[in-house]
Chains A and B, each alone.
Chain A
Amino acid sequence: MKRRHTFLIVFFITLLIILSLIHINVLQKSTEDLQQLIFWEFKVPRLLSALLAGAGLSISGLLMQNLFQNPMAGPYVLGINSAASLFIAIMVLGVAPSFWGVFSYVGAAMCGAFISASLMFVVSRRVQNLQSLLVIGLMFASFMGAFESILQSFASPEQVKQIYIWNMGSLQQLSADQVPWFMFFVLAGISLCFPVIKALNAFVLGELHAAQLGISVKKIRIILLLIAALLAGSITAFCGPIAFVGLAIPNLTRALLKTQDHLILILFTALIGSIFLLVVDSMILILDPWISLPLNVLTAGLGAPYVAYLMLKSK
């Protein structure tokens, strides 16, 4: 690691801590007794949601961009989140029995994410240019959305509301007792990246050259799809489909760090992803007395123009 990287790591960690303190102090003050309760039941879970979802989604996007050899890949734009949410809608509506509470949602979301990510991977090998994949991902997402709408027509008004709110994406759905599980899934996903860093670096040259450099391409392909699905699926299950973070943050990180070394990219993508969602959620909290903004309105508001800029630049 170069000196510049060490400096940037210290800088971003400091920024992260300052933003976390701001985030946790924004929620309105109340009486002493309530303070304690609010702190552990609301503030801490919400803060952790922002940190983990930001880091996890960004890394999921980074892995997909590497595997698909396409900087325009990401869990949201390729419909991975939509597939996860379709599978969750199936769960909510009780089409499938939900025996294990939260696990059935997470499991369903991960299955949806893995199946759709694999499908998009197959598609990505057939399209040549970067933008076509985005268009196909969009089609796929609308197709999933259509299915979900059909399902909703069978649902009770209560269930429809539940799915609707969840689809807006939010960092306040996580309850205190779910926090350890959420941490477990996301941290497991991130840790699993480290043994494949060498392979990720080789994949930059394409699968053909990676094979010549001794990488077991088929094995790594599946591992990367599984990690990306684990991260995108579990985050979608706990926070809803969050838009554009997975696509925009890895691109921002590469442009900032100017490297293709994936150890550095993973560390910084996680940090910058966390910081991004913290800033966005703090804005939501600060604006809350006047207007209550859904999370996706802000992530898309900031992420979509950046993605458009990337596309214009890539021509």
Chain B
Amino acid sequence: MIVFKQTSIGYQNALIGVHELSLPSKKMYALIGRNGSGKSTLLKTIIGQIPAISGDISIYGSSVQELYKIHQKRSEKVAFVSSMFMGVDMLTLNEYVGLGRIPQLGNLGRMQKEDHQIVQEVLEKLKIIDLQGHYTSQLSDGERQLASLARAMVQDTPLLVLDEPTSFLDVFNKSLLLEQLEDWVSHKDGRTVIFSSHDLENCIEKEIPTLVLANRALQLFEKPTKLQVMELLQEDNNQF
């Protein structure tokens, strides 16, 4: 469960204000907004990278202000997939995904049997297990995007935040990703996914609950219709 309480979000000046909003668990939410509407800033605040200016967001019982300060705690609550992972020389896909287990490891960073097992399971689910020996710097953009998702999934946090996760994926991988996220949130402990996207049609078609960021406010549509959302987005002329 994620709860916004009188939250104002931004750097020095508030870009977005969210008065009251609750996002129940076991669901994935799409975040839609125009360029420059503050999507990235909102995501950065939710994952604890920048503090909220005032108010608070509760993420599975922890305040984001606390997550901002205490990195260890942050790693237990939220995993993040950025829009672009460029790959690292000499870092294999298997090693890269294994880095998601870091919060659970000791100072020497040794993975145990069960850590390896978790990595293998996720690689299999995302159908990139055959690539596990390849260097991340030599994968295609789409393969890297799936690898980043795998890394975040093995972190095993209640909240997973993704910044435009489908931008480099083909049609098949796009539906694979949504399918896997759907499966991931249905976990018995109750998990949540928030991903930013420009693909409104897809959200409507798949009936994904959609957070629309427009006019400095955040609004949740359980079953978005094109008319509703387009109207809101068209009104939004607050370009920052």
Chain A residues engaging chain B, CB cutoff 8 angstroms? 71, 194-198, 200-202, 204-205, 208-209, 211-217, 254-255, 258-263
Residue ID in chain A nearest B111 by CB atoms:
A261
A197 and B108 contacting across the interface, CB-CB below 8 Å: yes
B109 and A201 contacting across the interface, CB-CB below 8 Å: yes
- Partner-contacting stretch, out of B31-39, B70-78, B201-209: B70-78
Q: In whole angstroms, what is the CA distance A201 to B100 when docked?
A: 11
Scan residues 59-108 of chain B and give those whose CB is less than 8 A from a CB of chain A. Answer: 71-76, 78-80, 82, 88-92, 95, 99-100, 102-103, 105-108
Residues of B within 8 A of A198 (CB): 102, 105-109
- Knowing A198-B107, A260-B91, the reply to whether A211 touches B49 (Cβ < 8 A) is yes
Q: In whole angstroms, what is the CA distance A255 to B73 when docked?
A: 35
- Least distance between A220 CB and chain B CB atoms (Å): 10
B47 on interface, CB distance cutoff 8 Å:
yes
Secondary structure call for the A interface: helix
Q: How many A-B residue pairs have CB under 8 A?
A: 79
Partner of B74, one of A205, A214, A254: A214
- Least distance between B62 CB and chain A CB atoms (Å): 13
A214 and B88 contacting across the interface, CB-CB below 8 Å: no
B110 on interface, CB distance cutoff 8 Å:
yes
- Knowing A197-B108, A202-B99, A202-B102, the reply to whether A259 touches B74 (Cβ < 8 A) is no
- Least distance between A285 CB and chain B CB atoms (Å): 35
Q: In whole angstroms, what is the CA distance A263 to B110 when docked?
A: 9
Residues of B within 8 A of A213 (CB): 75, 99-100, 102-103, 155
B107 and A195 contacting across the interface, CB-CB below 8 Å: yes
Q: In whole angstroms, what is the CA distance A211 to B69 when docked?
A: 10
B108 and A259 contacting across the interface, CB-CB below 8 Å: no
Residues of B within 8 A of A202 (CB): 99, 102
Residue ID in chain B nearest A261 by CB atoms:
B95
A214 and B72 contacting across the interface, CB-CB below 8 Å: yes
B109 and A212 contacting across the interface, CB-CB below 8 Å: no
- Least distance between A254 CB and chain B CB atoms (Å): 5
28 contacts between A and B (CB under 8 A): A71-B89, A198-B106, A198-B108, A198-B109, A200-B109, A201-B99, A201-B109, A204-B99, A205-B99, A209-B80, A211-B71, A212-B47, A212-B74, A212-B75, A212-B79, A213-B100, A213-B102, A214-B73, A214-B74, A214-B102, A215-B71, A216-B71, A216-B72, A254-B89, A255-B90, A259-B92, A259-B95, A262-B109
Mark B27-67 against chain A: 1 for CB-CB distance below 8 A, else 0.
00000000000000000000111000000000000000000
Q: In whole angstroms, what is the CA distance A48 to B102 when docked?
A: 36
Q: In whole angstroms, what is the CA distance A255 to B135 when docked?
A: 12
* Given A198-B102, A202-B99, 17 more pairs with CB closer than 8 A: A201-B99, A204-B88, A204-B99, A205-B88, A209-B80, A211-B49, A212-B48, A212-B78, A213-B75, A213-B102, A214-B72, A214-B73, A214-B102, A215-B71, A215-B102, A258-B92, A260-B88
Q: In whole angstroms, what is the CA distance A75 to B82 when docked?
A: 32
Residues of B within 8 A of A255 (CB): 90
Q: In whole angstroms, what is the CA distance A217 to B71 when docked?
A: 9
Residue ID in chain A nearest B104 by CB atoms:
A214
Residue ID in chain B nearest A257 by CB atoms:
B90
Q: In whole angstroms, what is the CA distance A263 to B106 when docked?
A: 12
Residues of B within 8 A of A214 (CB): 71-76, 102-103
Q: In whole angstroms, what is the CA distance A204 to B89 when docked?
A: 10
A197 and B107 contacting across the interface, CB-CB below 8 Å: yes
Q: In whole angstroms, what is the CA distance A71 to B95 when docked?
A: 19
Q: In whole angstroms, what is the CA distance A57 to B49 when docked?
A: 35
Partner of B109, one of A71, A208, A261: A261
Partner of B90, one of A208, A217, A254: A254
Residues of A within 8 A of B74 (CB): 211-212, 214
Residue ID in chain A nearest B135 by CB atoms:
A258
Residues of A within 8 A of B110 (CB): 263
Q: In whole angstroms, what is the CA distance A195 to B90 when docked?
A: 23
Q: In whole angstroms, what is the CA distance A194 to B108 when docked?
A: 6
Residues of B within 8 A of A205 (CB): 88, 99
Scan residues 108-157 of chain B and give those whose CB is less than 8 A from a CB of chain A. Answer: 108-110, 155
Q: In whole angstroms, what is the CA distance A215 to B102 when docked?
A: 9
Residue ID in chain B nearest A211 by CB atoms:
B71
- Least distance between B124 CB and chain A CB atoms (Å): 21
- Least distance between A290 CB and chain B CB atoms (Å): 41
Residues of A within 8 A of B100 (CB): 213
A201 and B102 contacting across the interface, CB-CB below 8 Å: yes
Residues of A within 8 A of B47 (CB): 212
